[in-house]
Amino acid sequence: MDRTRILILGGTSEARRLATELAARENLDILLSLAGRTEAPAEQPVPVRIGGFGGAQGLADFLMAGRYDLLIDATHPFAERISANAAAAAERSGITAIALVRPEWVPVPGDHWHIVPDIPSAIASLGPTPRRVFLATGRQGAPHAEVAPQHSYLLRSVDPVDPPLALADVEYILDRGPFALEGELDLLRKHSIEAIITKNSGGSAAYAKIEAARVLGIKVVVIARAPAAAMMTVETVEAALEAIDHLISEAMKRGV
């Protein structure tokens, strides 16, 4: 059997961990694809491709032209369009696909959550009374806050918000997780935060703000995930490795 060719759609810490594990295997050719939305992505352990594919058909064509055996969608849980394209491309190309999707956060006793479907709904839920808001949704959805200029916003993102928001009271923090509980407590106290807006991204890297909100009794407006794309799904890197091993083993038995 020839070397198994795997395309990983990445951009998450899980994608990097998976690529690191697979890079050590001599029977695999790995390519990690990044959308290019982050200006300075973390260093990766395998060859990297940056940029889009031109939709589902473009990705299907890329998979077939590159004679890939397996597609792994390890993108962010809120990269809905990319995941939908991955599912459609796998179906059109006939290539096996796996989605690596970290589990959602779930509220526990002491949490004060308000669950909404999207960022505009989250902004609207703050109400008309001015509040001090930690907007922890990243830079792409940040402009939605401009419809509610009565609030004071603290916005944290990996890359700068450009152009800056048309808001009278907004402060920017450039930082990349993982974040620790003590640091998040200090941040929320320093800025007298009254509400947090966050996506339900899951995982441990950004969970400390949820813990800090619980400690301080702060309301958290949580943006729910859209339904997952239709493909085989695993929740951990370890489960993804197990699934990959099984698929390669089955292919070898068939003499593919």
Quick check: 6 pLDDT over 90?
Answer: yes
Q: Which residues of 230-241 are buried (b: 16+ CB within 10 A; e: fewer)?
A: ebebbeebeebb
Q: Delimit the CATH 3.40.50.720 region(s) of the chain.
A: 4-103+227-254, 113-223
DSSP 8-state secondary structure symbol assigned to residue 144? G
**Residue 130 CB-density burial (10 A; 0-12 exposed, 13-18 middle, 19+ buried):** middle
pLDDT at 36: 74
pLDDT at 39: 59
pLDDT band for 42, please (50, 70, 90 cuts): low
Contact 82, 56 (CB under 8 A): no
The correct answer on CATH 3.30.70.520 for the domain covering 4-103+227-254 is no
pLDDT at 249: 83
Q: Is the pLDDT higher at 206 or at 45?
A: 206
Query: What are the phi and psi torsion angles at 114 (to 5°)?
Result: -130, 115
pLDDT band for 37, please (50, 70, 90 cuts): low
pLDDT at 231: 87
Query: What are the phi and psi torsion angles at 34 (to 5°)?
Result: -115, 140
pLDDT at 30: 95
Q: Pick the closest to residue 226 from 39, 40, 101 (CA basis).
A: 101
Query: What is the average per-residue pLDDT within 62-76?
Result: 96
- Fold topology of 113-223: Rossmann fold (3.40.50)
Q: What is the pLDDT of residues 183-235, one digit of tens each?
A: 999 999 999 999 999 999 999 999 999 999 999 999 999 999 988 777 899 99
Sequence-distant (≥ 6) Cβ neighbours of residue 6 within 8 angstroms: 22, 28, 29, 30, 31, 68, 69, 70, 71, 72, 244
Place of tokens 């619980």: 214
3-state secondary structure of 191: coil
Quick check: 32 pLDDT over 90?
Answer: yes
Query: What is the average per-residue pLDDT within 147-172?
Result: 95
pLDDT at 228: 77
pLDDT band for 251, please (50, 70, 90 cuts): confident
Query: What is the average per-residue pLDDT within 137-166?
Result: 94
Query: What is the average per-residue pLDDT within 78-97?
Result: 94
